[in-house]
Amino acid sequence: MNILVRSRSNVPDLLLPPFPAVAPTDFRVVFEAPSQPVGVILNGRAHRNAGLSNALDGLPAHVAGVAPVSRREMDDALARFAARGVETLIVSGGDGTVRDVLTAAAMHFRTMPRVAVVPSGKTNALAIDLGVPKGWTLDDAIRAADTGNTVSRAPIVVERIGRREPALRGFLFGAGAFVRATALAQDTHKLGAFNGLAVGLTLTGAVAQTLFGGRNNNWRRGDRMRIELADGRCTDRNMYLLLGSTLTRLPLGIKPFGRARGGLKLLGVDAPPKLLAATVPAVLAGSEARWIEARGYHRADTSAMRLHIDSGFVLDGERYEGGDMMIREGDPIEFLVPAHA
């Protein structure tokens, strides 16, 4: 039978054929969730970012990017990101840039947003630990904000005792010979050595300075440190080296803290160091043989450490003045990583 459709206008009525019989079909309307706000901090002076003046052009609408030229500008940008409700921070730079961003972000965000690191600096130890490849780009990180995996890492937090200033946040802390070795690393950067090569040359130079610099040189004498761990263990003496990190993997596969694990790990070496040339290879290979401890190479895991040192320390490549401080494991941060990491 036909179906009569009557018009309410002067158009003639229409005779339509019947609808063909069809089986009921399920269907869905899929709404694509809007992308969450993303903030980008790009260090234009970072090694791999040199000459990328247009790197922030053409960003998607949900992404805001800045290339600050001072820490004040970076601080202002992070304040705006926090007010906008940014849920992902992308940092394009090296370890030092990440340290500065995390230190400032903690003052503006109630909860630290997810962080993606685009390894662009002269040293990128955090990116190596996270499994982020050297070729990871800003576009890759933006896509990962919607689709990427996350890996959790807790930073080292350095708080000055008796001083009102922001706590520092980083991942590799060192004092004593590490401060002098970092100065050597700056020279290797000038020679064009970065990342793993720079680490190798720096370690070689540090050992050479210690072995051949004379019995009473600054390297062998060490620096006076008072160290008190969370479990009550305490020492007050000259130390050749104090090293701490919350990373699980370090460049070149070195394992100064022993087996890979999370948490705040420490390595302390008595001054003057004993049998350095014979012991350092075993220490860096991660050996946990008892004779290493007997020679004055001490490892420890702790949640916090109170340290007093006059000669300064290094956090993620930058030297800071010494003093009385609390060094602790901070709250974990979720880092975006590629799907295969």
Mean of pLDDT values over 105-128: 94
What total of structural domains would you count in the chain?
2
Written as one string, the DSSP assignment of 12-66 is PPEEEPPPPP-------PPPPPPPPPEEEEE-TTSGGGTT-TTTTTT--TTEEEE
- Give the residue with greater pLDDT, 188 vs 279: 279
222 and 142 in a single domain? The answer is no
Rounded distance, CA 39 to CA 134, Å? 21
| Residue 246 domain-assigned (yes or no) | yes
CA 193 to CA 190: how far, in whole Å?
7
- Res. 190: pLDDT tops 60: no
Beta strands in 177-257 (DSSP E): 223-229, 234-245
- Domain with 257 in it: 172-315
- Residue 40's contacts (CB-CB under 8 Å, 6 or more residues apart) are 56, 59, 63, 64, 65, 66, 89, 90, 92, 138, 142
Which phi and psi (to 5°) does residue 204 adopt?
A: -60, -45
Note the Cα 134 to chain centre separation in Å. Answer: 14
Its sign, for the CA torsion 328, 132, 122, 267, is positive
For residue 51, give Cα distances in angstroms to 47, 96, 101, 121, 194.
Answer: 10, 19, 22, 14, 18
297 with 188, same domain: the answer is: yes
What is the tens place of the pLDDT at every residue in 52-85? 657 788 899 999 999 999 999 999 999 999 999 9
Tell me what percent of the residues of the chain surpass a pLDDT of 70. Answer: 80
Closest CA to 158 of 145, 138, 172, 141: 172
pLDDT of residue 138: 93
d(CA 177, CA 206) in angstroms, rounded, equals: 8
**pLDDT, mean of residues 255-270:** 95
Q: Which helix (H) or strand (E) holds 141?
A: helix 138-147
Predicted pLDDT of residue 28 = 46
Q: Are residues 187 and 101 in the same domain?
A: no
Whether 78 and 196 share a structural domain = no
Identify the residue with better confidence: 11 or 122: 122
Is position 17 within any domain?
no
pLDDT above 50: residue 3:
no
Question: Between 177-190 and 195-212, two packed helices, what is the crossing angle to 10 degrees?
Answer: 130
CB atoms within 10 A of CB 259: 9
User: How many helices (H) and strands (E) would you count in the chain?
Assistant: 9, 19
In the DSSP assignment, the letter for residue 252 is G
pLDDT of residue 65: 94
Residue 285 binned pLDDT confidence (cut-offs 50, 70, 90): very high
Q: 176 with 306, same domain? A: yes
Query: Do 129 and 190 fall into the same domain?
Result: no
CB 88 within 8 A of CB 38: yes
Domain identity same for 89 and 220:
no
Query: Which whole-number Å values give the CA distances from 96 to 71, 151, 167, 329, in the listed order?
Result: 12, 20, 15, 18
Residue 213 in contact with residue 140, Cβ under 8 Å?
Answer: no
One domain for residues 192 and 250: yes
Q: Which pLDDT score is estimated for 201? A: 55
Residue range 303-328, pLDDT digits in tens: 999 999 999 999 998 999 999 999 99
- Indicate if 86 and 142 belong to the same structural domain: yes
Q: Are 193 and 47 in contact (CB under 8 A)?
A: no
In tens, the pLDDT along 327-336 reads 999 999 999 9
Domain end residue (candidates: 118, 153, 188): 153
209 belongs to a structural domain: yes
Least confident of 8-22, 31-45, 134-148: 8-22
149 and 176 housed in the same domain: no
Secondary structure, 3-state, 70-114: CHHHHHHHHHHHHHHCCCEEEEEECHHHHHHHHHHHCCCCCCCCE
SS3 call for 224: strand
Contact (Cβ atoms closer than 8 angstroms) between residue 332 and residue 141 = no
Q: pLDDT above 90 covers what percent of the chain?
A: 65
Please check the confidence at residue 123 and state whether its pLDDT lies above 90.
no
Q: Which domain CATH number covers 231?
A: 2.60.200.40
**Residue 231 pLDDT > 50, yes or no?**
yes
Tens digits of per-residue pLDDT, 203-215? 666 776 777 666 6
Boundary (domain end) residue, out of 105, 122, 153: 153
CATH of the domain at 68: 3.40.50.10330
> Does residue 8 sit within a domain?
no
Task: Assess if residue 255 is contained within a domain.
Answer: yes
Question: For residue 19, what pLDDT is reported?
Answer: 41
The answer to the question of residue 324 being in a domain is no
Q: What pLDDT digit, counting tens, does each position of 14-34 carry?
A: 444 444 444 444 444 443 445
pLDDT in tens, 238-254: 999 999 999 999 988 99
Listed range (12-21, 111-120, 138-147) with the worst mean pLDDT: 12-21
Indicate if 132 and 178 belong to the same structural domain. no
269, part of any domain: yes
Q: Quick one: pLDDT band at residue 148, thresholds 50, 70, 90?
A: confident
CA–CA dist 43, 92 (Å, integer): 6
| Inside any domain, residue 11 | no
In a shared domain, residues 126 and 177: no
Q: pLDDT higher for 179 or 78?
A: 78
